[in-house]
Structure 1
């Protein structure tokens, strides 16, 4: 729609401004009285030539390698232009002065070819610009669809990972006959409801995502004993700031997956700070178990790929072990 509007504006600019200005360079006052038919024929030829170029779009034909069609069209247009140079001179303008007649014919020929070159150059420049613009838009659309498909894949990979861990938690509570089992199932149903409600959303209010984090932490606390302490600290200045769903949960999951113990004292620190311009997340946990070969870093790598697509060049993600504790540090420039 926008391209059609721009094209219309360019056509109006050429037809109502540029061509009339160029025509004014001609001896219009003299030609309109002495050579009226030729003047109107020339003006009609210029406009027809312009719209023929706009219709056939030579750059598009060139991109499609239709060289024969291009050669055929240019041959026809050049032939018509050449025929126009033989437009008859009015009888009353014919004189015996050969030099004067040659000068008139030369001026007419130069004028015709001048308009041909002006219209051809302007039309080709405009069509080439539009074709390049269309090519860029097409590539951007393809890249956007590719990114969208990749994001959907990464989100699909995150959700089963979460479900597997949570079902393990519920299974452990059921086996132990804990009185926290009912509460755990209620929280689990709330979490599932959230996951399905935001599955098609690219951005959601931060309040919903952070509440999801709180519910997840509470659910994990139900299966933990006094040996594991969890410190969750969330600072948020604007609850309606939009952030991607499920972008933080992997780091929280990993902290509980590798940083909890039922017989050794350990602690998990989770800090999240959010304002309108920046999201900051830090996690720190004791390393109570090591990941098995083949499973290390899959969730974090998926998150990194999502961040590359969503915030290219606008995020920092650092992970690693320091003095027996695992740390993650994530910052995202939202604006």
Structure 2
């Protein structure tokens, strides 16, 4: 089907171009229509055949394979053959090509082979140049499309890898928390397991696309915070404020969780005077996220973490030029501000 449309498009182009040239020449000269039809249609078809002979046969067979000598020899032979064909038609159709004008005597003149062949050679060269330009243009667009496809595949693979890091990273931290509750024989262990189950269901079944509903992502964040509160025996203090109407906005999944995870890992969560502050402002096409937490000097993960590095890389891939992230890591306070065009 695609090939058929391509042939139709080329055919329409040549028909329209030929009709336009015949129309212009007929309106701007006294040359009879039959002469113009022979000149533009018959000889035009010969030139078009040379165009496609070079475009479809010579270029793929020789030029694309860098067989330059064979290409130019074949092209020269084809051009000479076209010149001879045109010369033969011109001698046979002399009366049509040079009609008699009333009241004017005109003798049949023999075509001078060299001068005629030179003029038709120039025309043939123009059609050859057009076919080469077309081939290089098509190749350029094809290469651009292939490069874009390869780049998209690379980015998709990298995003899949980054996302695959999130699940084990989050699961590792959550299981450590639940293990601590179970070790203490806390009554909140079943509730914590249920919260973790809801969170994992979201991560496994809702986060397969590059974008998810913002409402679902915010519910996921709330479940995570609730799980942490259970771990802290409901002595974790978090002020979560969501401003604006959350309607049909979409966001990359698991994008904000890394900041909140770090607040619980490295911050002070059980100080009611200094709660973890989370402010999310939402509009139709924009989201701003602000987080502030008091730092705990002894609550540091000596093994480091992949969370922030991961989220920064995902921002670069999914929101290039459409986000601004500022992090301030002071002696006692850690703040981050993320501005995002959804």
Question: TM class, shorter-chain normalised?
Answer: 0.7 to 0.9
User: What secondary structure is seen at the aligned counterpart in 2 of 1:81?
Assistant: helix
Q: How does 1:1-335 map to 2 (within 5 A)?
A: 5=5, 7-8=6-7, 11-22=10-21, 25=25, 32=34, 41-56=42-57, 58=59, 62=63, 64-87=65-88, 89-90=91-92, 100-102=109-111, 108-109=116-117, 112-225=120-233, 228-260=236-268, 266-288=274-296, 289=298, 291-293=300-302, 295-296=304-305, 298-334=306-342
**For structure 1, which segment, 269-278 or 224-233, has the greater mean C-alpha deviation from structure 2 after superposition?**
224-233
SS in 2 for 1:109: helix
Contact 1:225 1:262 in 2 (8 A): no
Q: 3-state SS of the aligned residue for 2:255?
A: coil
Q: 1:31 to 1:264 in 2, by over 3 A?
A: closer
CA deviation after TM superposition for structure 1 residue 315, in Å: 0.8
Residues 39/309 of structure 1: CA separation in 2 closer, same or farther (3 Å cut): closer
- How many residues in Structure 1 have an aligned counterpart in Structure 2? 328
Task: Compute the displacement of 1:244 (Å).
Answer: 0.8
Question: Shift in Å at residue 320 of structure 1?
Answer: 2.6
What displacement does 1:115 show? Answer: 3.4
Whole-Å Cα distance in 2 between the matches of residues 10 and 293 of structure 1? 66
**Aligned residues of 1:60 and 1:131 also touching (Cα < 8 A):** no
- Root-mean-square deviation (CA, aligned residues, Å) is 3.6
Aligned to 2:326, what secondary structure does the other structure show? strand
CA–CA distance in 2 between the matches of 1:52 and 1:188? 67
Q: Deviations over 1:266-298 (max 9, x none)?
A: 5211122222211111111111145445515x2
Q: What TM-score do the two structures reach when normalised by structure 1?
A: 0.83
Long gaps (5+) in structure 2: 99-105
1:200 CA displacement:
2.0
TM-aligned CA distance change 1:202 to 1:39, over 3 Å: closer
Aligned partners of 1:317 and 1:165: how far apart in 2? 25
Q: CA deviation at 1:109?
A: 3.4
Give 1:319 deviation, angstroms: 1.6
User: What are the superposed Cα offsets for residues 55-83 of structure 1, whole Å, 9 maximum, x if unpaired?
Assistant: 23738964553434533441332232232
Rounded to whole Å, the distance in 2 between the matches of 1:12 and 1:281 is 57
Q: Shift of the alpha carbon at 1:211?
A: 0.4
User: Equivalents in 2 of 1:92, 1:179: separation in Å?
Assistant: 107
